[in-house]
Structure 1
Amino acid sequence: MSQQIIALEPRKLWEYFYQLTQIPRPSNHEEQIQQFVYDFGKGLGLETIKDSAGNIIIRKPATAGMENRKGVILQGHLDMVPQKNSDKEHDFTRDPIETLVDGEWVTANGTTLGADNGIGVAAAMAVLASNDLVHGPVEALFTATEETGMDGAEGLPPDVLQGDILLNMDSEDEGELYVGCAGGEDANIRFTYSEAEVPATQTAFELNVTGLKGGHSGMDIILQRGNANQVFFRLLNEAHQQLGARLASVNGGSLRNAIPREAFGVITVAGDKADELKEIVEDEFLSVKAELAATEPDMKLTVVECGLPVELIDEMTQIRLTKSVLACPNGVIRMSDSVAGLVETSTNLASVKSDVVGKTIDIACLMRSSVDSAKESLAKRIDAVFGLAGATVKFTGAYPGWQPNMASPILKTMQSVYQQKYGKVPEIKAIHAGLECGILGGTYPHWDMISFGPTIRFPHSPDEKVNITSVQKFWDFLVETLKSIPGK
């Protein structure tokens, strides 16, 4: 089924995207894809560089008569978010992505697709390999480890690129031009606990919350989807308050930039209260499901008896953990006052994971804001919640936002090109997500930058899909833009 996509148009772009889907490339496991792109550039006889941060840079000279145009950097990131459904057997470090053509969309079989940002990478590859496109000097910048920290952008040397205009191809709505993005920062929270014995009179249950939609913690945060971690601890809180239920382990969510879709745990209760436990958590779950009926119609709860665990998390830590997770800010914190419909500040309670060996529970949150002071204030709120609960809180991975430049020359050029080609003016937007433009613009402050791309829905989740028609329009728009780049 995967090879169906190589018959789509534009043919070369889809062929390269198919090749990308066959190479494992989750964040922090990018050696194969970096080597593939490096060999691709060398195979074309083009100047190809791999820097110390793992970025690949490929230079292509201008076509005849275009030598005096401003240099363009085509930019995309090589890594992808590894998310799969719990019933899907897939090793992202080894297995290729199984792509499917579903009507007007390309999607994957039970996993993320990697259209974020594989389509942008494939488009740059198609430009580099072309013999018939018209363009000035082109450099392709393929960055490393964007999804988990923007490591490649952070590590890009300041003197390696020669161009004047950055075309970031990592946006997800065709017909829109992005001129700004949010900055971000990680909150890393840790509880330590003492081992508590499991009375032989207890009965243990696996308590699993599944079937939530998840999604991109920036782009999709406005959709008000449920958070599997907070649902899990809401159920646990009710079971503890009414029956003294105890927590043995928890494994909720996965990646900091993905809204958590699933949370799994083992809890225990006195054996004579086992039936009552199931009734209590199922009743509370029905309340949650009714509250989220519009956004999470497929949310599921399973409560299955299992063998007794080796140990329990001590009760005081369990209480502090439960209360702080429930109190933790999550979702949209504030909408923008200046841009209608844009989230200004948000946070994602991404993961809660216990470790029986280290006797720790680690929690990860990703904060985003287009206002630095608002992000700092949100960090203090999270620090206050978990600090009062006795956890340690550290903040890492801060990166800047990208401030819009409405006087941007490339913005004016691309608006004009789009209107001439499609008969309408593209929308100008900022995005509540982390684009590499903010970091890259700090290293190359003279760059004129813009971000655009095809229509991608539900990135960072197994529902990720890319619209086929929009990919053709995105490609045609890129080709016309390269023809229209102004002179130096």
Structure 2
Amino acid sequence: MMSNYIRELHPQDLWNNFYRLTRIPRPSGHEEKIRSFIADFGKNLGLETSVDEVGNVIIRKPATAGMEMCKGVILQAHLDMVPQKNSGTLHDFENDPIETIVDGDWVRACGTTLGADNGIGVAAAMAVLEATLLPHGPIEVLFTSDEERGMSGAIGLKPGLLKGEILLNLDSEDDGELCIGCAGGVNGTMSFSFNGEAVPAGYTGFSITVTGLKGGHSGVDIHLGRGNANKIMNRILFEGHARCGLLLASIDGGSLRNAIPRESIATVAVPVAGVESFLDALSVVSGKIKDELSLTEPALCIEAIPAETPEMIIEEPVFVKLLKAVYACPNGVMRMSSEMAGLVETSTNLAIVRSSHAALTIECLLRSSVDSAREELQVMISSLFDLAGARSLFDKGYPGWKPNPDSPILKKMREIYIASFGKVPEIRAVHAGLECGIIGGTYPALDMISFGPTIRYPHSPDEKVNIASVRKFRDFLLEILGKVAIER
């Protein structure tokens, strides 16, 4: 059942708001329309609404009568979504709405990311702002900008804007879990300069594609052993160069730092006399890769299709440096946490390998809940690329969120969850970047916690949200607001 049917799901207030969000394009970096929509939403409710200099929207709702002296609660969610689609799906994330499908117990999109991350959190906050019968203390809603691309909204949030004492981050993805900590991260960009050269005589062109991978969130899903399109493509190119002298004209792998790369395409030149050897080598290495990933990536597709011979190639010495550096570059889980069972401590995602007219660029996202471990991984990667002759740049990154097991709001929410649902919630930290660490650095007195409904495969076209968990999430949120207001 398509698109507007989700408006009939329960709770209707939340799902109707989520439907409205799916109509508004909101990929990271292109949030003008959603920002305007949310600001108008607050103003039309007669609520104090402001937009700060980095594009965050803040809406304040006064306490209900008699609750004015209760603790102020900040609800926080981000406006943007990750734009990912299946190959062959015609979708313009800057202009087209997201088409949704009710698929049994789940809602998903039609060949694209759904935007439940973090659209469900935004829709829940909107429902709270609209509610007329809910008893509550002072409420602020902070809708942050550009979370998925670098958390610039949270980073740019100024001191003194927020008045509340408790922050509820609505950006977690597992029903029954209360999140009290997350990893910090840093983005790395490495680049090789090159001079284009004319293709030697006696060469022909091929287009090599790696498709069909699951991808996923580079923090939440990094431990699942999924294929990395950039690593796979590099392995193919390495073998082709070694076996028959394959040369690289262009490459475009991955699209976002925080998504495990699902696809890569390379245009290459192969000696006419070595075409048979190249195809044999491709068959052998593809078979090995597919065997290795047979359980995690059953839809992996590796193809080489004859193409026009490219006019220019990347000079061979630089191409070889790229091959060796990408082969050696770490990717995936580096260390598991010694403090929390099953939690990844440190990881890196080899997210993007891309050529332009004069440069080869490699982008990674390094995550860790231990700052020193993240710093060591940064030195490791920069040392590798320095030795290969590349230039390495790392941004300032963002801090992790240190767990506070003695948090008063954690204690209260645990009690409410047990009373509401008859079971004990799991208390955990996540190997993903939440804005709590950044916001907590600016507002250190905040008591923070993160929770949400069950969302699977975020940052990929397989993203889906469980319908029943959305109702629990919304009911839990309303119960928290009422109880916190009563029991200061």
TM-score range, shorter chain: over 0.9
Q: Deviations over 1:235-283 (max 9, x none)?
A: 1111111111111110000000000000100111111221221121121
Residue number in structure 2 paired with 1:366: 365
Residue number in structure 1 paired with 2:93: 92
Contact 2:243/2:277 (CA < 8 Å) preserved in 1? no
Aligned-partner Cα distance in 2 for 1:28–1:244: 40
Contact 1:149/1:397 (CA < 8 Å) preserved in 2? no
Contact 2:173/2:456 (CA < 8 Å) preserved in 1? yes
Residue number in structure 2 paired with 1:50: 51
Q: CA deviation at 1:157?
A: 1.4
Residue number in structure 2 paired with 1:437: 436
The aligned runs of 1:190-269 (5 Å cut-off) are 190-269=191-270
Q: CA deviation at 1:203?
A: 1.2
- 266-275 or 201-210, which moves further after superposition? 266-275
| Amino acid aligned to 1:264 | I
Q: CA deviation at 1:397?
A: 4.2
| Amino acid aligned to 2:434 | L
Q: CA deviation at 1:89?
A: 0.8
Residue number in structure 1 paired with 2:475: 476
* Structure 2 gaps, min length 5: none
Q: Deviations over 1:444-468 (max 9, x none)?
A: 1110000000000000000000000
Residue number in structure 2 paired with 1:384: 383
Aligned-partner Cα distance in 2 for 1:230–1:368: 19
Residue number in structure 2 paired with 1:156: 157
Residue number in structure 1 paired with 2:356: 355
Aligned-partner Cα distance in 1 for 2:46–2:195: 61
| Amino acid aligned to 2:35 | Q
State the secondary structure of the residue aligned to 1:367.
Answer: strand
Q: Deviations over 1:65-101 (max 9, x none)?
A: 3222200000000000001111111111100001110
Q: Deviations over 1:125-161 (max 9, x none)?
A: 0000011112111110000000111111011111111
1:408 aligns with 2:388: no
Q: Deviations over 1:296-319 (max 9, x none)?
A: 110001110000111011111111
Aligned-partner Cα distance in 2 for 1:235–1:479: 53
Q: Deviations over 1:88-128 (max 9, x none)?
A: 11111100001110000000001000000000000000000
Q: Deviations over 1:417-462 (max 9, x none)?
A: 0000111110000000000000000111110000000000000000
| Amino acid aligned to 2:477 | L
The aligned runs of 1:390-469 (5 Å cut-off) are 390-469=389-468
State the secondary structure of the residue aligned to 1:446.
Answer: coil
Residue number in structure 1 paired with 2:337: 336
| Amino acid aligned to 1:217 | S
State the secondary structure of the residue aligned to 2:366.
Answer: strand
Q: Deviations over 1:29-75 (max 9, x none)?
A: 00100000000000000000111010000011112232222000000
State the secondary structure of the residue aligned to 1:147.
Answer: helix
**Normalising by the residue count of structure 2, what TM-score does the alignment of the two structures yield?**
0.99
Aligned-partner Cα distance in 2 for 1:401–1:28: 23
Contact 2:3/2:100 (CA < 8 Å) preserved in 1? yes
Aligned-partner Cα distance in 2 for 1:466–1:134: 28
Q: CA deviation at 1:197?
A: 1.6
Contact 1:250/1:353 (CA < 8 Å) preserved in 2? yes
* Structure 1 gaps, min length 5: none
Aligned-partner Cα distance in 1 for 2:232–2:284: 13
Contact 1:282/1:301 (CA < 8 Å) preserved in 2? no
Contact 1:182/1:370 (CA < 8 Å) preserved in 2? yes
1:179 aligns with 2:180: yes
Residue number in structure 1 paired with 2:319: 318
- 190-199 or 137-146, which moves further after superposition? 190-199
| Amino acid aligned to 1:216 | H
State the secondary structure of the residue aligned to 1:303.
Answer: strand
How many equivalent residue pairs? 486
Identical columns (%): 59
| Amino acid aligned to 2:425 | P
State the secondary structure of the residue aligned to 1:366.
Answer: strand
Residue number in structure 1 paired with 2:283: 282
Aligned-partner Cα distance in 1 for 2:44–2:396: 36
Aligned-partner Cα distance in 2 for 1:134–1:8: 24
4+ long deviations beyond 3 Å: none
| Amino acid aligned to 1:127 | V
Residue number in structure 2 paired with 1:102: 103
State the secondary structure of the residue aligned to 2:154.
Answer: helix
| Amino acid aligned to 1:434 | G
Aligned-partner Cα distance in 1 for 2:477–2:40: 24
Aligned-partner Cα distance in 2 for 1:454–1:446: 27
**Normalising by the residue count of structure 1, what TM-score does the alignment of the two structures yield?**
0.99
Aligned-partner Cα distance in 2 for 1:226–1:302: 16
Q: Deviations over 1:149-175 (max 9, x none)?
A: 111101111111110000000000011
Aligned-partner Cα distance in 1 for 2:88–2:159: 45
| Amino acid aligned to 1:422 | F
Aligned-partner Cα distance in 1 for 2:151–2:95: 23
Aligned-partner Cα distance in 2 for 1:45–1:408: 34
The aligned runs of 1:116-131 (5 Å cut-off) are 116-131=117-132
Residue number in structure 2 paired with 1:74: 75
- 435-444 or 60-69, which moves further after superposition? 60-69
| Amino acid aligned to 2:61 | K
Aligned-partner Cα distance in 1 for 2:158–2:320: 48
Q: Deviations over 1:319-364 (max 9, x none)?
A: 10001101001000000001000000000000000002xx101110
Contact 1:213/1:225 (CA < 8 Å) preserved in 2? yes
Aligned-partner Cα distance in 1 for 2:53–2:149: 18
State the secondary structure of the residue aligned to 2:351.
Answer: strand
State the secondary structure of the residue aligned to 1:225.
Answer: coil
Contact 1:166/1:450 (CA < 8 Å) preserved in 2? yes
State the secondary structure of the residue aligned to 2:87.
Answer: coil
Residue number in structure 1 paired with 2:12: 11
| Amino acid aligned to 1:344 | E
Q: Deviations over 1:181-200 (max 9, x none)?
A: 00000001101112122123
